[in-house]
Chain A
Amino acid sequence: MTIQLNPVTRGDLRSRLASPKILWVLRLYVAVLSLLAVFSLPPESGRLPGLVETELLQLFLLFQLGWVAYLTSALAVGEIAVEGEKQILDLAVTSFPPRTIALGKLWTAALFAAALVAAAVPLVALLAPPEVGAIPQLLRALLVMVVLAVPLAAVGTWLTAAISSDLLRTMVHWLLFLGLFAATRWLVDPLAFLNPLRIVAAAYGGTPSAWPLALLPYLAIAAAGTALTGRLVLAVRREGTP
């Protein structure tokens, strides 16, 4: 049985994997996380009273989440442009159905986020507790990281066509990014659990047990972003402009 990859996703991934810029982005990402991992080795962990090993790993995962979410959405929104990768407006004039284009972009974001998470697995292995019991909770946290990175990218994909000004689009992207990561910290409980950092921490720690519910709004945002992208492709085809 062969899995048919969405043609839009296949094209995007080819462009990204062949791009020297993306390779450097990937190197930068791995290098920064490597530095954090090296600085987390003893004696650093012991010099900060109260900062125990679990918290250090959690800190690493949260830092990684920030990187994964930013890079995934920045590529989707066009803030980091990849030579050869087609944007929504380019794809709107092709024969691909709008649904294929919208879902293809969603898949591109999800697979790229997964690739970023996978690239950091050797670094996680450098810090992780050496118990077998720690593997499921780590895998859970890494999977959640991918899920959390996708909604912003889905909205970002729509923004590429909805806002023509690069500057304005970048500003909106940063506002959304900061709003998601920073503003949600000031929400009152239980809304504060919508903060992606808290969700990853909860997924790693396993508490509160209802943490998967906090993913629902993100899935809804991803669905909404994809639907908006599909409608926008239709609008472009119908009216010639977004």
Chain B
Amino acid sequence: MTGPRVFLLTAMMVAAASRPPAAAAPATPVGLSAGITADIRVGFGGYVVPDAWMPVTLRLRSERDVAGTVEVTTSRARPPGTERVRVEVHLVPRTPHPLTVPVIVRDLRSPLVVRFLEQGGVAATWPVSIPAGRLVDGVVLAVNRRPVGLQQILGESGRIRVAYVTADDLPARWQLYEGVAAVVVRDLDDRRLIPAQVEALAGWVATGGRLIIAAPRSEILSRPALQPFIVPPPLPPPFPGAPEEVHPWGRGRVTVIPVDPFRADLPPDDAAMWTRLLGEPRTPPFVDRTLLDVLPQSPGTSLSLQVVILLTLGLYLILLRPLTHGLLRGRSGWALAAALLVGATAVTATLNLAVRRGASTIVQGVVAVALPDQGVALVESVGRVLLSRRGAFQLRAGAETLVRPLAGAETTLVLNQVVRFEGRAEATLPVRAATLVPLPIHGLYREGPEGVEVQIENRSGRRLRDPVVFLDGRIQPLPPLDRESRATLSPLRWREPAAVDAVRGPENRLLAWAFGRLRGDAILSPTVSLVAWLDDDRGILHWPGQPAAPLLLVLPLSRPEGAP
């Protein structure tokens, strides 16, 4: 029988030219096992960005054929909470099984714990502590053959650190780039990339990420994984004579610059340019926590149920007369009165249960921002799980969706074909989910002498409801849209959208919130957008047995090439 074993953590590849990190990260996990070993790495190059999705990379080995679940637990003290992420695995004897589990580290004082669960029990446990020096504000992923050079450009004192990674280390989920400030690519062996990694990189850039390719254009064209990024026509240079070429990619940017930042003899001017490039902020997300403020605090009791309750109480008031008079008629009257009282109590108790069933739900605002020219949409849901009393909940979401609590709670995210997010909470728990879904809807606009002309091509097979065009802070409704629609907007029918506080109803409030965000969004405010309700429940959090929330689509319209 195999006794407890000590497992060594694989050493991190992090090395900086001037000052290597103070401690190898993460710490060596030690745990009990049942013939299962694991090499564990947390974050990128051992650096961890708190409150962001981070990869926990495992390499599992087993001496026997075993099917089980890998569970990674993170916890925090204030507010108290425990978050678990579970992934099912099947280990084959003596064959390494690589696995990446997305986790959010909240509190460095609480160790991260990796467990292997088998047949309802814990087969192995590996606690992993993260040194305090590994907590950073952001990570720049540097893909280069030689892991040196970039940190000097960023400076040693800042809280943005460089993690030197290989193609193998690039995440296969776009959400895992959340803590990444930028990806700098110099030497990328893109033959080692699997399609999911390429899609994840493209998806992250499209959601607002920054990819900087330090290579000449001719070299990029020869790499299938990078070549698509430079297909969109470049944006105007940030200043005359700027050496970089910036290509838009969804809400993000791809910068191509033929200057190697990793070389030891980098001239000061080039170093300054790289400092500028790396210091540029990421595009803020369209959907943020302010969406929570427009959501109803409670789902309320349905009108029909309220009517039934009022009718029941009215009937009870009427029954008070036979009830009191019955008491005067001896035993039979007492029995009748008791029966009436018990009956009324049973009915109201049933109504109580019906109200509670309706009161336990999720209220959410779901916004799909179509990423220009990508054929995909970033679907983000910010919601509030409402429980009629402290208790358990279980939500479902589409594959590839990651869900996180926005407050302290005990939650478990189960990442299988259907994603499950379950846990226990007080009366309310704010949550957030995000995923990318294919969405072949495209739109064009052209400003002509008769007004703005829009053209919408919807090949998604899903219906667009109540379409509205947003331009320069004003809106104008469109007629119902077909698969291919074209409309000219009258210059006289533009109007100001109402503010959130001026409208009632969850849909109107969400719409008003979206118009407010469009006004302030750096990427979308200069352009024309179509806003419509989309009949699509992919990526939305589902409360079993309850109808899906409506999804608000924000589709930036492109100007046709050559148009004025």
Given contacts A128-B352, A130-B353, contact A43 B301 (CB under 8 A): yes
Pick from B327, B344, B351, B359: contact of A42, CB under 8 Å: B359
CA distance A34 to B320 in the complex (A): 13
Encode contact with B along A28-41: 1 for CB under 8 Å, 0 otherwise. 00110010011001
Pick from B310, B324, B346, B348: contact of A17, CB under 8 Å: B324
Measured between beta carbons, the chain B residues less than 8 angstroms from A41 are: 301, 306, 309, 355
With an 8 A cutoff between CB atoms, is B494 at the interface?
Answer: no
Encode contact with A along B314-327: 1 for CB under 8 Å, 0 otherwise. 00110011011101
CA distance A26 to B386 in the complex (A): 36
Given contacts A30-B316, A122-B345, contact A129 B389 (CB under 8 A): yes
In chain A, what residue has the closest Cβ to B301? A41
Pick from B301, B313, B355: contact of A34, CB under 8 Å: B313
- Report whether over half of chain A's contact residues are helix, strand or loop; otherwise say mixed: helix
In chain A, what residue has the closest Cβ to B355? A41
Measured between beta carbons, the chain B residues less than 8 angstroms from A17 are: 324-325, 327-328
CA distance A30 to B344 in the complex (A): 13
Please state if B352 and A127 are interface contacts (CB–CB under 8 Å).
Answer: yes
Measured between beta carbons, the chain B residues less than 8 angstroms from A42 are: 298-301, 355, 358-359, 388
User: In the complex, how many angstroms separate the beta carbon of B148 from the nearest chain A beta carbon?
Assistant: 53
Pick from B300, B348, B388: contact of A125, CB under 8 Å: B348
User: In the complex, how many angstroms separate the beta carbon of A58 from the nearest chain B beta carbon?
Assistant: 14
Given contacts A42-B300, A43-B299, A53-B388, contact A126 B321 (CB under 8 A): no
Please state if A118 and B299 are interface contacts (CB–CB under 8 Å).
Answer: no
CA distance A27 to B313 in the complex (A): 11
Measured between beta carbons, the chain B residues less than 8 angstroms from A14 are: 328
Pick from A30, A47, A118, A125: contact of B297, CB under 8 Å: A47
With an 8 A cutoff between CB atoms, is A171 at the interface?
Answer: no
Measured between beta carbons, the chain A residues less than 8 angstroms from B313 are: 30, 34, 37-38, 123
With an 8 A cutoff between CB atoms, is A240 at the interface?
Answer: no
With an 8 A cutoff between CB atoms, is B8 at the interface?
Answer: no
User: In the complex, how many angstroms separate the beta carbon of A185 from the nearest chain B beta carbon?
Assistant: 28
With an 8 A cutoff between CB atoms, is A6 at the interface?
Answer: no
CA distance A167 to B321 in the complex (A): 31
Please state if B389 and A122 are interface contacts (CB–CB under 8 Å).
Answer: no
Given contacts A30-B316, A122-B347, contact A43 B341 (CB under 8 A): no
Please state if B341 and A118 are interface contacts (CB–CB under 8 Å).
Answer: yes
Measured between beta carbons, the chain B residues less than 8 angstroms from A119 are: 320, 323, 341
Measured between beta carbons, the chain A residues less than 8 angstroms from B325 are: 17-18
Measured between beta carbons, the chain B residues less than 8 angstroms from A37 are: 313
Measured between beta carbons, the chain A residues less than 8 angstroms from B324 are: 17, 22-23, 26
In chain B, what residue has the closest Cβ to A28? B317
Please state if A47 and B349 are interface contacts (CB–CB under 8 Å).
Answer: no
Pick from A23, A31, A130: contact of B321, CB under 8 Å: A23
With an 8 A cutoff between CB atoms, is B74 at the interface?
Answer: no
Measured between beta carbons, the chain A residues less than 8 angstroms from B317 are: 27, 30-31, 34
In chain A, what residue has the closest Cβ to B427? A52
In chain B, what residue has the closest Cβ to A35? B313
With an 8 A cutoff between CB atoms, is B59 at the interface?
Answer: no
In chain A, what residue has the closest Cβ to B338? A118
With an 8 A cutoff between CB atoms, is A46 at the interface?
Answer: yes
With an 8 A cutoff between CB atoms, is B516 at the interface?
Answer: no
CA distance A38 to B356 in the complex (A): 13
In chain A, what residue has the closest Cβ to B350? A125
Measured between beta carbons, the chain A residues less than 8 angstroms from B321 are: 23
Please state if B296 and A125 are interface contacts (CB–CB under 8 Å).
Answer: no
User: In the complex, how many angstroms separate the beta carbon of B321 from the nearest chain A beta carbon?
Assistant: 6
CA distance A123 to B310 in the complex (A): 11
With an 8 A cutoff between CB atoms, is A235 at the interface?
Answer: no
In chain B, what residue has the closest Cβ to A31? B317
Please state if A45 and B348 are interface contacts (CB–CB under 8 Å).
Answer: no
Please state if A126 and B352 are interface contacts (CB–CB under 8 Å).
Answer: yes
Please state if A122 and B320 are interface contacts (CB–CB under 8 Å).
Answer: no
Given contacts A41-B306, A47-B297, contact A130 B352 (CB under 8 A): yes
Given contacts A41-B306, A126-B309, contact A46 B386 (CB under 8 A): yes
Please state if A126 and B349 are interface contacts (CB–CB under 8 Å).
Answer: yes
CA distance A53 to B345 in the complex (A): 19
With an 8 A cutoff between CB atoms, is A163 at the interface?
Answer: no
User: In the complex, how many angstroms separate the beta carbon of A34 from the nearest chain B beta carbon?
Assistant: 4
Please state if B345 and A125 are interface contacts (CB–CB under 8 Å).
Answer: yes
CA distance A22 to B313 in the complex (A): 19
Please state if B348 and A46 are interface contacts (CB–CB under 8 Å).
Answer: no
Please state if B351 and A18 are interface contacts (CB–CB under 8 Å).
Answer: no
Interface residues of B in 277-327 (CB under 8 A from A): 296-301, 306, 309-310, 313, 316-317, 320-321, 323-325, 327
User: In the complex, how many angstroms separate the beta carbon of B208 from the nearest chain A beta carbon?
Assistant: 33
Please state if B341 and A121 are interface contacts (CB–CB under 8 Å).
Answer: yes
User: In the complex, how many angstroms separate the beta carbon of A126 from the nearest chain B beta carbon?
Assistant: 4
Measured between beta carbons, the chain A residues less than 8 angstroms from B327 are: 13, 17
Please state if A47 and B298 are interface contacts (CB–CB under 8 Å).
Answer: yes
Measured between beta carbons, the chain A residues less than 8 angstroms from B349 are: 125-126, 128, 130
Chain A: residues with CB nearer than 8 A to chain B? 13-14, 17-18, 22-23, 26-27, 30-31, 34, 37-38, 41-47, 52-53, 118-119, 121-123, 125-130
- Nearest first, the 9 closest Cβ-Cβ pairs linking A and B are A46-B298, A43-B298, A43-B300, A122-B344, A126-B348, A125-B349, A34-B313, A42-B359, A46-B297
**22 residue pairs A–B, Cβ–Cβ below 8 Å:** A18-B325, A23-B324, A27-B320, A30-B313, A30-B320, A37-B313, A41-B355, A42-B355, A43-B298, A46-B427, A53-B427, A118-B341, A121-B341, A122-B316, A122-B344, A122-B345, A122-B347, A125-B349, A126-B352, A129-B389, A130-B349, A130-B356
Given contacts A41-B306, A42-B298, A46-B428, 18 further A-B contacts (CB under 8 A): A17-B325, A17-B328, A26-B320, A34-B317, A41-B301, A41-B355, A42-B299, A42-B301, A42-B355, A43-B297, A46-B298, A53-B388, A53-B389, A123-B348, A126-B351, A126-B352, A128-B352, A129-B389
